[in-house]
Each structure stands twice: as C-alpha cells, then as structure tokens.
Structure 1
Amino acid sequence: MNNRRETATLSASIADNLAKQIEEGVLPAGSRLPSIREYAEAAGCSKNTVISAFDILTANGLIEPRRGSGFFVVRRVIAAEEAEEATTLNRAMDIVWLMREQLQTKPDVLNLGEGFPPVEWLEETRLDHYHQRVVRTGVASLFRYGSRFGYLPLRQSLQQKLAGYDIDAGPSQIVLTHGANQAMDMVLRYFVQPGDTVLVDDPGYYTLFGKLKLSGANIVGVQREIDGPNIRQLEEHLVTYRPKLFFTQSVGHNPTAADTSAAKAHRILQLAERYDLTIVEDDALADLRPRALTRIATLDQLRRTIYIGSFAKSVSAALRVGFIACHAALASDLADVKMLTHVSSSEYCERTLDAIISDGHFLRHTNHLQEKLRRATDTAIKALTRLDAHIYKPCEQTLYLWASLPGWTDSMKLAEALIERGVILAPGAVFSPDADQVSAYCRFNVAYLADKRFAAALHACASHGAR
C-alpha cells in the first residue's frame, strides 16, 4: 500500500514538473517527449510511474499520444478570450462549471441555478431506514455485479409506476441505469455516429448538449414554445437533416417549465412515423408533476419512443438510479451496450430504491414534495413579479421558472454581475445548443427565490450602473 502511494506521489510530481515546463515554453507545442523508457532511466523510476504521469498530462490536455511515435506536446491556440476563461467571470458561463456548482454546497452563496430540490425536502425518505432492509435481504448484492437489465423486482415496480402514466411496459422492456445521464449515454452510443444530426429542444438540457458534442454529433435545436416544440421547424429539420433522434422533455420542461400539449404530441408522432424518427423522451421530473399530463410515450406505447426516467429529483441524486423503457428488442440491445461499457449498474442502489418506492410511504413523500413545490412556486412567482420580471410560463407547480429581468437583455451579463455579489444564476445561453446565442432569460429554482439576497444583489447592480 505504501509503495502504491509513493508511486502515485512520484507520478504526480513528474506530471507537475512536465506541466510547468510546457506552460513556461521549455517544452514547446508540437515537441516530442522522451520515450517512457528514456524518461524512466533518467528519473531513476519505473516505467509504470512514468506511464501514470503521462496519463495525467494526457487527461489534462497537455500532451497526446501518437501511435508509433510517442507523446507530443499539444498545440494550443491561445486567444484573448481563451485566456480569460480562467477568470471567475467566464467560468460562471461554462456548462461544466455549472454542473460543478450543482455538486457542491456553499453556505455563503445563493445558488438560484440549482438543479435539485433542497436537501431538507428529500430527507423524509430516510435512506438510513432502508439500508438495513437491503443488507438483510440482499447481502450478496453487496459483493457482485447485477443483471445486465438491472434488479428484477425494481423493474417490476417500475412497470407499475409506468402503468400509472398509462404506459404499458413489461420488465423485459426496462433497463436500469446509473442515473438518467447514463441512460442518455447508452442511447447515444447505440444510435449516433460522428457527424450524425440529432435534434434537441432549444432551450433544453445543457448536459445533453455536452454529451452530443463528445459523441461528434451535429446538434440542431428545435425551438421550444409555450405548448411544446415548434412543429413547423421540427418538420423542416426532419426534411433537411433526416436525423435519427429527437431528444425532448414533454412534462415540466427544463428550463422553461412548459408542458407539451396533447395536440403537439400527436403531431410529433405523426412526423416521427413519416420521417423514421426515434423520440427520446426525458421525464426526469415525473414525480414533481401531475400524473395526468401528456407524455409522448403514453400515446406511442414505446414503438418510436425511448422513455428515460430518474429519481434524482424525488429521492436522491446520490443513489444514481435511472431507467430506460422502450420496445423489448431495443431494450436487450441497450442492456448489452450497458454491459460492454459499464458491466452493470449497482444492484445495491437498485435494491434500496425498490425498497423505497414499493413502500406506501413513497407516495406520501411525493405528494408532500409536490405540495412544497406548489407553495414555493407561488412564493417564487410573487418574488419575480415584485422585480417586474417576465415569466415565460407561470405554473402552479414547478421546480424551475424561466424568466427575464427588466433592463437585462443579456442574462450572461446579469450572471457576471451577480456572481460577484454571491448569487449564482443559470443564464439562458447555457441552455441553447448555439453557444453564441444571447438570451435575456435565466432558469430559476423556485425553492430559493424568496431569499432576500437576490433582490439586494440586483439593487446593488442597479446602484452601480451594471447592465
């Protein structure tokens, strides 16, 4: 163990030393590093230590391997705007930065761009109560991989949950995943090749845009309207690009809070049939919204729809349990993709979630959660109204509101001004597949809008003439 620690420390030290030489220009862009054997001999260490150091530098984008030639310093174009990315100002506008902010708690900062309900709203699920039950009844799951489809009793519980939305899906049509994000990754791996066009909601789920860019896809946005996607634009894109997939969110759309109308859902399915399109319906907020709302998967019964669900917003993001529901042949293929890329999902987490949602307490919990959202939404709308904000879609019950504030035509600039005053926003441009798009809107988490620090920070911006 000590030898392993010493090796890791030495590798990090070598990586730091080489990184410094690269940053200072001692090792210029395009130059070849000594071979692993040569470096190991010169440094008096093992080749594995040097390999680990080179792996660190490669992961940080400082060097790259070239087959048969060795490792080379990456050529980096340093533009004025790139140099500014290290500043807090521009980091606040970065997708990865926004994701990082959602994964940590800063008591001195008001995060109005937070993606989750407050922790205290979820604590009543009492995860500790279910741990002992899982350990008593499924101790073997703590020491082995699970099924490629995932824990069968949970899939059976999800069958009942989906039946509540009038979606008929047997256990063989359900694949459990490591959260909704792994579900999206699996779909992308299965369907998308570099250069393929994929349609997305615009505005839409910013993390999805990052995944699509990593896969080399051509991302094309479909304008999101107050009752769902713009149907005329959707058909134009289908004619022009012939895409395989359209990722959309029908219920509680993130970030606008708008729901897709039944009329538009029917029209989307008609177009999907005509142009051989598969619809990926993300329903991550299902437990926070009324069951009766229209879902494309309900109308389609999973023929052309891949339905993705999650419990991150209603139980715990830490459990990392999501699922895919689709037709059985595709479910089997996606289970194979999951097995090849991740072996399996966590049966321990799946057993824990099944214990929670199969308990009658879960229904009471989601009812309480929705009631808290109703109260918070009402309070949030009043707070934004006092600020003369324009709310895109006022709702009775939603986690997010999409709103613009008077005098701010570019929410990026607003976010820049407020972050210096301890308030974090989720500016509209982050939610667009077009990184250059200017938006007056921000996504606000309703649970935090009553905090007086927001109005005070806005007032301070106005007093200092920030616009």
Structure 2
Amino acid sequence: MPMDRPNLSTLAITAGAALDTARMTLVDQLVHWASLRIEERVFLPGMRMPSIRNLAEEKRVSRFSVVEAYERLVALGFLEARRGSGFYVRERPAVPSQNAAAPAHKSPIDVAWLVRSMLHAVSPERGPGIGTLPPSWLDGEMITSALRSMSRQAGTHLLSSGNPQGFLPLRKQLQTQLAELEIGARPEQIVLTSGITQAVDFLLRLYVRDGDTVLVGDPAWFVMFGRIASQGANTIGVPYTPDGVDMQALERLVQTHRPKLLILNSILQNPTGTSMTAPRAFQILRLAEQYDFLVLEDDIYCDLCPPHQPVTRLASLDQLKRVIYMGSFSKTLAANLRVAFVACSPELAKTFCDHKMLSGSTTPEINERIVYKVLTEGHYRRHADRLRGRLDEVREKTARTLERIGLRMYSEPSAGMFLWADTGVDTSALAAAGHEAGFLFAPGALFSPRQAPSTWMRMNIANSSDPGMLTFLERQLQKAA
C-alpha cells in the first residue's frame, strides 16, 4: 500500500534558503523544494507526491512546471513514476560507510540537526529557532561599499598569507573598541579567528585534557558541548536564574569538581537573555582565583546591548589575567564573514597564535579587511543602533503574543534577540512536528549538556511574527493540553 502524502498546505518553496531562489526558475525552485524535503526525510520513501493539479494550485504555478519538475526529480533518482498512479518517493540506496555500516535512520532532533537546518532548510520568517538576525535586517550595502573600497586598492596585499595574529589595523581598531568597554588589550594581546566556534575549539585544545571538567551554563550555547566531550572532558551545567548564574550552585560545583574552565555569556546570555550583575561578576572572579580555573567570556552579543545599559563584563574587572575574552561580528554584520577575536594575556596570545598557525595557518585576511573597513568608515555604529531599535520595537509585542497562545517567559530581557519560553510540552516533539510543517524551532533539550527532555524553547524575536507559525504553535499546544 502506498503511504499517504502529508498535508502540504504550509510547505512553501523556501525563498530564503541558502540557494539564491530569486534567480532560480519556478521549475528549479520546485525541484529544490522537493529534493530538500526528501533528503531530510520529511517525504519518506514510498510516499505519493501531490498530484500535478494539486501542486500546481498549491504553489500557483502551471501544470507544465510541475510536470517538468517531477520529471527532473525522476532523472535525479528522487522519484519514480507509476503509470496511472502518480509520482512516488524512491527508496534510494544508502552510501556505504568506509567503516562498519549502521542502518540509515531518520535524523534525530540534535545539535547537528539544528545547525544544519539553520544553514539551509528554512526561510527566516519560518524559523523562530534560527540564531541569527534576518538578512533583511542587516546592511548588505555597507559590506558592498567596503568591498568596492578594497577593489580600488592594489591587489597585491591580498596575495600574501597574512599575519598569523590577524590583520593588524583591525586589531588596533579592536584595541580602541575594547577600551570603550574598559578592557585594556594591546594589539599583540588580540588574535583573530574564523568565528567564535573556532576560538572555543582552539582554547579547549590548549587547556582541556581527558578527565578534566568544564563548567557551562545550563541552558547555554549548544555547539560547544560536543567539542568539550571530544576532548574527553566532563561537561557540567551551572543552573541559571532570571537574574543570571545561580551563584550558590556554581560555588558547590566548583568545590566538588575543581573545573579547568568556566565558559559563559556575560551579556545577553544565549538563550535566556540575562546579563551579569557586578556582584555576580566579582563572585565568579573570586572563585576563579581561589580554585584556580580560567573563564572564557563569550561576548558575541556585545553590540546588541545598549552602550549605556548597566552591565558588567568579567574582562573589565579582571583585565585579562584569568579571563579570556571573545567577541565577533557575525550577529550584526554577516555570519559568513566569520571574523571573531580573542583578547587575553600576552603569554596566552602567543601560545594561541602558535596553535592557530599549526592548526590552520592564518585566517582569511580579506574578511578581516572588510570588517576593518566597515568599522572605520563611520556607518557601523548607526547600523548597530538601528538593529537595537528594531529589536526594541518587536520584543514586548512578541513576548505578549507568545504569552497569549500559552507560553510563559523566563524573564523580560531589555535587549538582545532571544526569549526563553516555557511551552509546557516536550519541545523536541514540537520541533519535529514543526520541521514536517516547514518551521524551525530550537527545543530546550539542545541547550542543556544533559540533553534531557525539556518544555523550554528559544525564540528569536526577529523571526517570531509569522501568522502561520503562530497558528501552528498554538494548535500544537492545544493538542497537548
């Protein structure tokens, strides 16, 4: 018996995905839409595809376009045509592994699934679980202007390997910007990396050994959990409260486990949106001194925090003795520029730079030059102001809308892009249902090192106003009630 096809009423062609669909023909878009969902096993082997007439009406395209798309999918091996019955998803042979082969199975809702889905599977308006701002909020012209400015210069400076620590003028500019945050760092104390993920990876390789303990927030940024485990270290979560890190719990964990590192967001923590107060910052530094561990302070959301908001950064108190400070421009400029930096003690900066050279030589200087141009041509501050203003415009409205459909807010952040919300249901199951309906949610289990079932979910306020998504979410919560 052929399997019934799913309801496709909410599965629109993905206009905002990684491919530039604006330049694709309608047939190309249909092929991309169908093949993506077959690869992600939304359409399972044996399922009958929508009839030519129904899909043409659904997508508002001609029947000829649907026929041509289906024929291409047959040629590509995604579908098979059955005379008099229609088109069906074809069982495709699994590619054998070089090692022992495990049977193919549907991808679980895990960290890799979320990252992969954020990169290509859904358009921003259908992705409240996406961790970046929509491209329409960012300033592509500012990047283009920097590229034009670079193109007018002699091209020979782009042909060398670059400086192992990173483009020196950008490091000097970062020295100025860090001084505004009351963090003293000379250019030789700053090393540029290809994103925060690479910075964390390098630092874990330098400091963490098999059997060591690393403390992280619970909840916290999920990508680092697997990286810590790959070093053979124990990952232990520190509970959060609406006011930030639970200091009593942190002290107990430090006394019991004697960690090598503590990794946290001090400002606009991902996913709770909380920021550190001065008393908590002093307590953390006291514990770091007393029990001899380092703190990796990830300040990736720095420019989404209003300049005069009363927040405290550990690095401003410690001045890079035990604190290693990390920052990036991926949230405010462009994620694919992959320009981040580490500010630390002079000794560590040298060691870090040596490790960077041995691991991957230098970072792409052209990206660093683009960021330098953007920061120094006078438009970036106004751009950051606009982003903060747009987030301020939607934050309160989004929180109240989510509450009306049944969610409970963890806290009321006054800045940033995330809300941490309790749905009252297992959000991994909710995310799986959303995936089949064409929506991307970020379930709470992924944000905990324990990966335990959770009713919490991270919502990106810039991507949480789509009526279809809100209706879907409300219906899912009503079903579970």
- With the length of structure 2 as denominator, give the TM-score of the two structures: 0.76
Question: Is the CA contact (8 Å cut-off) linking 2:125 and 2:463 kept in structure 1?
Answer: no
| Amino acid of the structure 2 residue aligned with 1:62 | S
| 1:274 equivalent in alignment to 2:300 | no
Instruction: Write out per-residue CA displacement over residues 129-161 of structure 1, whole angstroms, 9 at most, x where no aligned residue.
Output: 111222333623322211111111000000111
Matched with 2:97 is 62
| 1:136 equivalent in alignment to 2:152 | yes
Q: Could you tell me how far apart the structure 2 residues matched to 1:423 and 1:277 are?
A: 41
Instruction: Write out per-residue CA displacement over residues 174-210 of structure 1, whole angstroms, 9 at most, x where no aligned residue.
Output: 0011111111111011111222211111111100112
| Amino acid of the structure 2 residue aligned with 1:315 | L
Matched with 1:349 is 367
Mapping 1:368-379, distance limit 5 Å: 368-379=386-397
Q: 1:95 aligns with which of 102, 111, 114?
A: 111
Question: Is the CA contact (8 Å cut-off) linking 1:308 and 1:322 kept in structure 2?
Answer: yes
Question: Is the CA contact (8 Å cut-off) linking 1:125 and 1:365 kept in structure 2?
Answer: no
Question: Is the CA contact (8 Å cut-off) linking 1:176 and 1:322 kept in structure 2?
Answer: yes
Q: What SS does the corresponding residue of 2:139 show, helix, strand or coil?
A: helix
Quick check: 283-292 or 150-159, which moved more?
Answer: 283-292
Question: Is the CA contact (8 Å cut-off) linking 1:177 and 1:345 kept in structure 2?
Answer: yes
| Amino acid of the structure 1 residue aligned with 2:464 | L
| 1:316 equivalent in alignment to 2:351 | no
Matched with 1:192 is 208
Q: Could you tell me how far apart the structure 1 residues matched to 2:254 and 2:129 are?
A: 33
CA 1:107–1:136: 2 relative to 1, 3 Å: same
Q: What SS does the corresponding residue of 2:282 show, helix, strand or coil?
A: helix
| 1:447 equivalent in alignment to 2:462 | yes
Question: Is the CA contact (8 Å cut-off) linking 2:215 and 2:262 kept in structure 1?
Answer: yes
| 1:265 equivalent in alignment to 2:276 | no
CA shift, 1:250, in A, is: 0.7
Q: Could you tell me how far apart the structure 2 residues matched to 1:392 and 1:367 are?
A: 26
Q: What SS does the corresponding residue of 1:344 show, helix, strand or coil?
A: coil
Matched with 2:223 is 207
CA 1:225–1:377: 2 relative to 1, 3 Å: same
| Amino acid of the structure 1 residue aligned with 2:317 | L
CA shift, 1:125, in A, is: 5.1
Question: Is the CA contact (8 Å cut-off) linking 1:183 and 1:323 kept in structure 2?
Answer: yes
CA 1:327–1:61: 2 relative to 1, 3 Å: farther
Q: Could you tell me how far apart the structure 2 residues matched to 1:345 and 1:332 are?
A: 16
CA shift, 1:109, in A, is: 7.4
CA shift, 1:332, in A, is: 0.8
CA shift, 1:424, in A, is: 1.6
Question: Is the CA contact (8 Å cut-off) linking 1:110 and 1:424 kept in structure 2?
Answer: yes
CA shift, 1:101, in A, is: 1.3
CA 1:462–1:301: 2 relative to 1, 3 Å: closer
CA 1:200–1:416: 2 relative to 1, 3 Å: same
| 1:438 equivalent in alignment to 2:453 | yes
Question: Is the CA contact (8 Å cut-off) linking 1:423 and 1:457 kept in structure 2?
Answer: no
Q: Could you tell me how far apart the structure 1 residues matched to 2:320 and 2:412 are?
A: 31
Q: What SS does the corresponding residue of 1:62 show, helix, strand or coil?
A: coil
Q: Could you tell me how far apart the structure 1 residues matched to 2:96 and 2:125 are?
A: 31
Q: Could you tell me how far apart the structure 1 residues matched to 2:125 and 2:164 are?
A: 41
Q: What SS does the corresponding residue of 1:137 show, helix, strand or coil?
A: coil
CA shift, 1:215, in A, is: 2.1
Q: What SS does the corresponding residue of 1:221 show, helix, strand or coil?
A: strand
| 1:182 equivalent in alignment to 2:198 | yes
| 1:429 equivalent in alignment to 2:445 | yes
Instruction: Write out per-residue CA displacement over residues 414-448 of structure 1, whole angstroms, 9 at most, x where no aligned residue.
Output: 2223333222210000000002x122110000012
CA 1:306–1:138: 2 relative to 1, 3 Å: farther
Q: 2:100 aligns with which of 74, 77, 101?
A: 74
Quick check: 411-420 or 167-176, which moved more?
Answer: 411-420
| Amino acid of the structure 2 residue aligned with 1:308 | M
Matched with 2:242 is 226
Q: Could you tell me how far apart the structure 1 residues matched to 2:122 and 2:477 are?
A: 25
CA shift, 1:461, in A, is: 2.8
Quick check: 299-308 or 235-244, which moved more?
Answer: 235-244
| Amino acid of the structure 1 residue aligned with 2:417 | L
| 1:389 equivalent in alignment to 2:407 | yes
Quick check: 425-434 or 385-394, which moved more?
Answer: 385-394
Q: Could you tell me how far apart the structure 1 residues matched to 2:154 and 2:344 are?
A: 28
Matched with 2:347 is 329
Q: 1 or 2, which has the higher helix percentage?
A: 1
Matched with 2:262 is 246
Q: Could you tell me how far apart the structure 1 residues matched to 2:346 and 2:154 are?
A: 27
Q: Could you tell me how far apart the structure 2 residues matched to 1:287 and 1:124 are?
A: 18
- Gap regions ≥5 residues in structure 2: 1-94
Question: Is the CA contact (8 Å cut-off) linking 2:124 and 2:130 kept in structure 1?
Answer: no
Q: Could you tell me how far apart the structure 2 residues matched to 1:453 and 1:286 are?
A: 32
- Gap regions ≥5 residues in structure 1: 1-59, 64-72
Q: Could you tell me how far apart the structure 2 residues matched to 1:225 and 1:243 are?
A: 21
Quick check: 129-138 or 246-255, which moved more?
Answer: 129-138
Matched with 1:145 is 161
| Amino acid of the structure 2 residue aligned with 1:238 | V
CA 1:441–1:462: 2 relative to 1, 3 Å: closer
Question: Is the CA contact (8 Å cut-off) linking 2:128 and 2:460 kept in structure 1?
Answer: yes
Q: Could you tell me how far apart the structure 2 residues matched to 1:180 and 1:140 are?
A: 29
Using the aligned pairs only, state the percent identity.
37
Following TM superposition, the consecutive aligned residue runs of length 4 or more in structure 1 with deviations greater than 6 angstroms are none
Q: Could you tell me how far apart the structure 2 residues matched to 1:238 and 1:138 are?
A: 54
CA shift, 1:212, in A, is: 1.1
| 1:116 equivalent in alignment to 2:132 | yes
CA 1:232–1:462: 2 relative to 1, 3 Å: closer
Question: Is the CA contact (8 Å cut-off) linking 1:278 and 1:306 kept in structure 2?
Answer: yes
Question: Is the CA contact (8 Å cut-off) linking 2:442 and 2:457 kept in structure 1?
Answer: yes
Mapping 1:391-406, distance limit 5 Å: 391-405=409-423
Q: Could you tell me how far apart the structure 1 residues matched to 2:124 and 2:191 are?
A: 40
CA shift, 1:450, in A, is: 1.5
CA shift, 1:453, in A, is: 1.2
